Structure 1
């Protein structure tokens, strides 16, 4: 029997799985397709990391490692739902919850002193950030808005805030002494083993990383961000926000760039509250409260200080927030600022939301205001400034007429910056960092100072060439111009451009419009065409893949969760991603308080259809193809009939949307003529769902309104979650009957 792996993840997508997966399994069984699960949730990965130290009844297999191997095989068919990209505060919260549930896990060691500390920290660090994505992404990314989604967005446009011509909103970025300006890059001539070493000013040599395997044709980059320049830049931006009477905000990617960006975040906290750290810096540092985990961690950690110092720090923070520029808020009602938690404000989601909202963020007074958006590294900051300037000149975009910017993204085999975590270091002393090959020859070198953030990253040759091929394939299939977003003045991009120019002639590009432009110029071209109702494929590296597939969908569709995300794996398998999960925590909070889950599973519907389609092609299972086509048709009806979840209690929520999708899907299967036996099997299912619609809807609405106990946040009690997410006995009985 053919198999699809449906990943079990975190937060709202995980809860939705408890409702939707039984429906998927029932429908798939009719086509002899098994839908199995693998737990790659944050909690599951933590427990798996310590399996050898836990009693047998608490051990879990390393599902992520298993799927990582599967992703390299032609048989792979994986549906990947959004998972938590854990910051340290989230990781600690998950550990605490698991320990409270009786799992004998060690505490996260803030300080590494012993070998035991080192081992525990290494295991936890392997779970932090975006650990899931590089393992599974053995292919490049093809993300686009399906036609049904685009048509729905035009018929039912989301709200867009008006832009004022005199808006003071702007992006501030370093432009010098940062990762972009200091980058150096080399293409490796032959397979080799590299070493990264630091040579201090006094001649002391320290190996930062050895045994780094590289392949012929691989691009290796090295760069650093000057701590001294960063601090000067941040101090200037705090003053600028004060002078211009705008909100101050910082936008980083502390989840994906899990080493560098938390460090930068700490610099921002210290720059915004200089008096706090001038007076209490030594005591805070001794307690591990440097700002890297945000203001919330400092405030919650004050119990580690003596009473007088704790009171002084708290008062100094309050004074600093009062005297500084107004700080953008995550939740003004609860006093949660832009600087509270590094994972609360993620650049690829927060910047599009700000642009969609008239260039505003929320201030401490609960009102919207113009904002200075601080993005320290200048590698990609310019794309947001270009969009802001366009909106200031031309007003908000119009979702009823605007074009689209689908994306072909280079991400296979940990390509580019997102693969830099194990090669990112805070420099301990003034000196020089070198990347040397096995012969001792220096390939890349930087003069650095203590506190600088240095990193290296790799991009293998095979993924780059596959990326170019995918771009050409997508451009021809959609008859759409494609633009490689590459900056000839940036070292890494210059090496990529050589490969693109070498690879393009190997493909049939006759009649295609394919260009190479810098990210800023590519942005300007794309948004000009958007306003003309035209589509433009953005062909980007790994980070811009993330940024663009939030920026344009959020402006165009109101959310990035409605994008179709297909990853054709290098060895022939398929990975199907279901959209973003940035709002998932708020959704869980509402469910727990009101038993209403507003998570929209549209991404799951679209990914599932593509998964069935791939399985049909790969295995010759014609019925899987019928499931794919009928599911697509059902999704179109679902959108036309507006069966997406509401935000309000007492109206349709995630569970109700699953019912309607099941009903429309069953009706499509019963009506299709390609497989008579399948139509016959689903006719009574469709009839039952139609006949019991009113009853099912009432059961689903009646379940709402009160609090829900899930038994946990990071690890829920399965029985409690099933009960909460499957409250309709009538629907459950029909699904059970279909499965036999």
Structure 2
């Protein structure tokens, strides 16, 4: 007997989690009369931490491993998961979450930076399952179809967001290595038969150390490996610090230390060392002895500096201040609080920070609150050229115009952990000189690299089934939209060359007659797409996983002002559906504002968009036509919501996230009451629509009345459920109307 279909609404982190306390009760109330079952699963950072340490906790504190449960569900036709943005935890974030949980009474162990015992290594291994982009690889059992809904494009054209002016004299540029980096050293093979590989380090004296003893692979799978040279990286970063000083522009580092949870924090640490060479030359040993690693950022050093002897502490502070004064002006996260680009590895995430810089005319914020041209440092050259190409286009032609520009939807290869570069157990910081190699079960070497101490070596795998599905999805979208589809693949890069071989083999399996399908390297694809964008034409980008992540922020932020307003559907390979709700990059600031003044700016539009195809999927899975009626009404309500400009404002006294949810509920009820497809639902929602419409002024007043005072939610990483609900549902009138549906 097949399981009963359900919509699983995920509980995540920060602003999306808080918004859920307001929106989910509306969803549950509207779903009930249609017979749609909605359940929740906790995949928040705190929830994941709790799930991996049941033996440390009391019975009432334990929760199941909901992420693992959903990972299994995602492999079935019954899957119907609405996935909100998660924290992709850096080590500082993970430590902060653990400290908060400990303060709440959870007897969790501390995170061991340098485990020395078997027990500490086992604790570290559990935490390593939680940090970084731990959620997405588990749930993404399908490839990505991400695009701007027609209603969003229409709204953006009539209500364009601000675009900064570009000057032809702008000195803003991207700096990248181009040699001795991941792209230049990459090697790739296609596996002929199912096997189990292993990764080994062979020292100069011939001693073999197994780095990973079991790496199962399937026939047709693409395996890659590469190395970034530490000596070259340090020299490159030192030169970029000097260049920014020489050119009198802001120095900025753009990484993905959350997704690339092993490699990028190491690179980040090299940048901290390069910016403050005197600090580490004088005090490196003392800092290391105190556990103050540059990989955790300047903020981690400053927050733990009291562990040093007072005289050393004061000297370190003076040396840091001198480094800030003597170096180039730094791109700031918060100039009012002195939070620099190098404070926290997870503060400046390349896929959000670079589009924001480009949208702002190539100008970043300096230490005195000034706007200025910026040197954007992206060490690995794999995709840095994409951003440089956009900068050059804007410098030559000016800012893009949201009122006329086209769109760049994306078909992304990400199923079954495809192209998870640097994010898990196949990335290593090399301790001793020698060779790292991948060998098959017969002992034959497939890939090898010479390595030196400090080098960063990584491998990744991309299975054949996801690649086939990716090609199929690209053709399907090109056929449905009529837009050209461009595979962003570089014939000069080892991994991409193997993917091109497969793409060229699989395209003839599909009807491509009359379709325009190209293969261009990322820089050429960027230029081609920008030319079409400026003519108001659409171009489908068909990309690997990392570029998918970058482009689905880059183009939406330029097109519609934010990536949170995108429709993101993941047709799961085995027939289910995963519906993602946009980006969470600004979520921390939103939480800070809520706590300070009871105002939540988070825009839940992504959740609205995701719910429509989820309900449509449910109607199909459960043979429940009423779910399709709910979906159609919600789609029309969302269009009205946009045209009436009911998204959260930016200032106190305007509607925030809670007010936007009320207006969605009102428009949704009105559409359900007016529709003629289902008389029963029309009858149920007619009085609801009438009450919400009549009481609009009262409800909005109740929602706005709480603004301006601090809000107590009982925790950042794990808010108290009762407190968060009280904060996020302050309108007794709205709550009473929703109660009538239950």
Of 19, 29, 33, the residue aligned with 1:30 is 33
Tell me which residue corresponds to 2:714. Answer: 711
Decide whether the 8 Å contact of 2:484 with 2:515 is kept in 1: yes
SS in 1 for 2:224: strand
Tell me which residue corresponds to 1:557. Answer: 560
SS in 2 for 1:416: coil
Tell me which residue corresponds to 1:487. Answer: 490
CA deviations 1:561-612 (Å, max 9, x no partner) are 0000000001000000000000011111111111111110000000001100
Change (3 A) 1:441 1:420: farther
Decide whether the 8 Å contact of 2:413 with 2:543 is kept in 1: yes
Is structure 2 residue 306 aligned with structure 1 residue 303? Answer: yes
Tell me which residue corresponds to 1:339. Answer: 342
Is structure 2 residue 84 aligned with structure 1 residue 77? Answer: no
Distance 2:472 2:225 in 1: 27
Tell me which residue corresponds to 1:188. Answer: 191
Q: What stretches of structure 2 of length at least 5 have no aligned partner?
A: none
Distance 1:419 1:248 in 2: 25
Tell me which residue corresponds to 1:263. Answer: 266
Decide whether the 8 Å contact of 1:410 with 1:467 is kept in 2: yes
Tell me which residue corresponds to 1:435. Answer: 438
Tell me which residue corresponds to 1:546. Answer: 549
Distance 2:423 2:638 in 1: 39
Distance 2:427 2:86 in 1: 24
Decide whether the 8 Å contact of 1:137 with 1:411 is kept in 2: yes
Of 536, 540, 547, the residue aligned with 2:539 is 536
Tell me which residue corresponds to 2:592. Answer: 589
Tell me which residue corresponds to 1:202. Answer: 205
Is structure 2 residue 410 aligned with structure 1 residue 394? Answer: no
CA deviations 1:378-424 (Å, max 9, x no partner) are 00000000000000000000000001000000000110134752000
Distance 2:423 2:708 in 1: 46
Is structure 2 residue 693 aligned with structure 1 residue 685? Answer: no
Spell out the pairing of 1:465-544 with structure 2 (5 A cutoff).
465-544=468-547
Distance 1:173 1:421 in 2: 24
What's the C-alpha RMSD, in Å, of the aligned pairs? Answer: 0.8
Shift of residue 618, structure 1, vs aligned partner: 2.7
Decide whether the 8 Å contact of 2:567 with 2:610 is kept in 1: yes
Decide whether the 8 Å contact of 2:183 with 2:381 is kept in 1: yes
Is structure 2 residue 17 aligned with structure 1 residue 8? Answer: no
Of 660, 665, 668, the residue aligned with 1:662 is 665
Shift of residue 300, structure 1, vs aligned partner: 1.0
Compare 534-543 and 299-308 and name the one that shifted more.
299-308
Tell me which residue corresponds to 2:152. Answer: 149
Decide whether the 8 Å contact of 1:420 with 1:457 is kept in 2: no
Distance 1:94 1:290 in 2: 19
Tell me which residue corresponds to 1:41. Answer: 44
Compare 164-173 and 411-420 and name the one that shifted more.
411-420
Shift of residue 110, structure 1, vs aligned partner: 1.2
Decide whether the 8 Å contact of 2:410 with 2:542 is kept in 1: yes
Is structure 2 residue 724 aligned with structure 1 residue 721? Answer: yes
Change (3 A) 1:678 1:54: same
Decide whether the 8 Å contact of 1:420 with 1:455 is kept in 2: no
Decide whether the 8 Å contact of 2:140 with 2:414 is kept in 1: yes
Decide whether the 8 Å contact of 1:560 with 1:580 is kept in 2: yes
Distance 1:2 1:698 in 2: 39
Of 160, 163, 185, the residue aligned with 2:163 is 160
Of 571, 574, 577, the residue aligned with 1:571 is 574
CA deviations 1:205-260 (Å, max 9, x no partner) are 11100111000000000000000000111111111111111100000000000000
Tell me which residue corresponds to 1:105. Answer: 108
Distance 1:636 1:420 in 2: 38
Decide whether the 8 Å contact of 1:75 with 1:572 is kept in 2: yes
Tell me which residue corresponds to 1:249. Answer: 252
Compare 214-223 and 410-419 and name the one that shifted more.
410-419
TM-score (norm 1): 0.99
Shift of residue 309, structure 1, vs aligned partner: 1.0
Decide whether the 8 Å contact of 1:251 with 1:350 is kept in 2: yes
CA deviations 1:82-131 (Å, max 9, x no partner) are 01010111100000000000011011111110111001111111100110
Distance 2:342 2:283 in 1: 18
Compare 418-427 and 634-643 and name the one that shifted more.
418-427
TM-score (norm 2): 0.99
Is structure 2 residue 187 aligned with structure 1 residue 173? Answer: no
Of 675, 678, 685, the residue aligned with 1:675 is 678
Compare 694-703 and 153-162 and name the one that shifted more.
694-703
Decide whether the 8 Å contact of 2:146 with 2:569 is kept in 1: yes
Distance 2:307 2:480 in 1: 60
